[in-house]
Amino acid sequence: MNDTSPHNYKYLVRSPRDVDWGITVNTVGSESVPPGYRIYPPRSGHPDSFYFTPSNGRCLDSYQLLYITRGKGTLYTSRETLTEIREGDMLILQPHKWHSYFPEKKTGWQEYWIGFEGINIDSRFHNGFFAKDRIVYRIGVQDSIVKLYEQAIRVAMEEKAACQQYLAGIANLILGMTMYYSQNCQFDDKSAEQIDKAKVIIRERLLEGISPEDVAAAVNMSYSWFRKVFKEYTSLSPARYIQELKIQQAKDLLSATHSDIKEIAYRLNFDDTSYFSKVFKKHTGITAVEYREKFGRG
């Protein structure tokens, strides 16, 4: 694929049926902006709703994932607020929020983008998976993500039946990978290694009644620091992580064995059967007895 082509992008239409899918894609493409470029962005080929001049900026009606894989530049979120953009940055541009950006003249840059909208994407932001006031996610240059953009461009150019559903899947995957790489880039190798080791220790010693403090000691971290890093890494506190694993084990035992509920509670180190039943219902929405009746193997 020739990324220097002035028309290495596509704007797409959607049907009411596509909208029912929950995500629709309205544009996808890439642009190679050379050092010493004369004008940005190119004047031709872009609809008015997507075209902008860096001095005026723009507001989009949809989300857009802009990925910079080479060069650097500047992002403005207001006339006075600017952020440096460098290679390996993913910009999540949200609807109805003014912004402007452009590559540095000295370096130019390589950009990829995909624009999309829909109730499924709205829920990601409504439920706090992505901060409403954050645009730049530093994820590094990931070949797997570049390949997804290139795949999306090919699918859009062909515009075959059900291409919207194909493109929606790619957009959703790129968004998920952005979250994955962004969160994992926050941790140095040592911290990531310690938390991964902690998760293994918890799984291996789950039935021994291991406590979060025991796990922190096993990975040579103070408990307060361990709890903070563990929650940032997994989105769960160590205690909640242990409890979630116990409930999963309880579900397996209820569905695959004939052990009575009291025995299962004891095996999983719950204080008593009533507390186990209370915790189980809180996590699953049904009692242990109801779970066995519904999912047990006879």
Could you tell me the residue ranges of all domains in the chain?
9-184, 189-295
Task: Return the CATH fold of 189-295.
Answer: Arc Repressor Mutant, subunit A (1.10.10)
Alpha-carbon distance of 188 to 176, in angstroms, equals 21
Indicate whether this model's pTM tops 0.75. Answer: no
- Looking at residue 44, its pLDDT comes to 67
Interhelix angle 238-256/273-284, nearest 10 degrees: 100
- Looking at residue 5, its pLDDT comes to 41
Alpha-carbon distance of 290 to 274, in angstroms, equals 15
**Nearest Cα residue to 148 out of 109, 122, 175:** 175
- Looking at residue 192, its pLDDT comes to 77
Alpha-carbon distance of 203 to 238, in angstroms, equals 12
- Looking at residue 11, its pLDDT comes to 93
Give the residues of the chain that fall short of pLDDT 70: 1-7, 43-44, 186-189, 298
Residue showing tokens 């992505």: 130
Instruction: Give SS3 for 33.
Output: strand
Distances (CA, A) of 178 to 14, 26, 42, 144, 172: 25, 20, 27, 11, 10
Alpha-carbon distance of 15 to 178, in angstroms, equals 28
Q: For residues 107 and 35, is the Cβ–Cβ distance under 8 A?
A: yes
* CATH homologous superfamily for the domain 9-184: Regulatory protein AraC (2.60.120.280)
Digit-coded pLDDT (tens) for 166-203: 999 999 999 999 999 888 776 666 787 888 889 988 98
Residue showing tokens 């979060």: 212
Alpha-carbon distance of 215 to 236, in angstroms, equals 15
Digit-coded pLDDT (tens) for 264-298: 999 999 988 999 999 999 999 999 999 999 988 76
- Looking at residue 3, its pLDDT comes to 38
